[in-house]
Amino acid sequence: MPKISIPTAWYRAVCLFAAIALAGLAADLLTKHWAFQALGMPGQYEANEESTYWVWQDVFGFQTALNPGALFGLAAGQTTLLVIFSLIFLTGIIVYVFFWAWQSLFLSAIFGMIVAGICGNLYDRLGWHGLVYADWHSEHLLGEQPIYAVRDWILCMIGTFHWPNFNIADALMVCSVILLLLHGLFFDTTQERQRSTSTEGVSK
């Protein structure tokens, strides 16, 4: 049986992809845990100021929130649908990286960020964070019903507009989409120019 030779570049790209995905996932889950331990559940305190920590007063800080939907609260309450879409995207990205995107370390890194973001929020949507519904004012649990919602904790104000709270997973996905757009606009164009230049050189 012939031995299949796997390029060294493949190992490098896949290792980079896995390292960024694992590091991003760890950063997301650890910061979520810290925020909810330090600031408590949303609405746990009667005075909102007690559950908000301002790094820059009225501009940037930390405040816990629970999002039952996707980015910006889209598809709120559609947990099953969001989980299915997350698993489909995860499978597609992993297959793409292993068979095609490994030829570019930049793309492998970007897809590692996306996978970290998807897995971080998927962890929350499945209720694995262990949070349960509670009546914080009377301090009596309403029941051991898990909360199927994403934990958000980063607070940004744009003037008087309260930008929807987000987390590291959201930031990774938004940044990766921006990087993908920049790659499509500039990197692909540069590569095409290099190919055309080399082709012209050969023809001459």
- Among 28, 124, 170, 188, which one carries the catalytic annotation? 170
Give kind and range of the element (H or E) at residue 163: strand 161-166
Sheet strand arrangement including 52-56: 52-56, 60-67, 150-158, 161-166
Q: Rounded distance, CA 83 to CA 130, Å?
A: 17
Buried b (16+ CB within 10 A) or exposed e, 82-96: beeebeeeeeebbee
Rama region for 65: left / alpha / beta (φ>0; ψ in -120 to 50; rest): beta
Active site residue 170: yes
Q: Is 140 exposed, middle or buried (0-12, 13-18, 19+ CB in 10 A)?
A: exposed
Residue in the structure block whose two tokens are 């606009």 = 185
- Among 58, 124, 135, 152, which one carries the catalytic annotation? 152
Active site residue 58: no
Residue in the structure block whose two tokens are 């996978």 = 115
Active-site residue numbers?
Answer: 152, 170
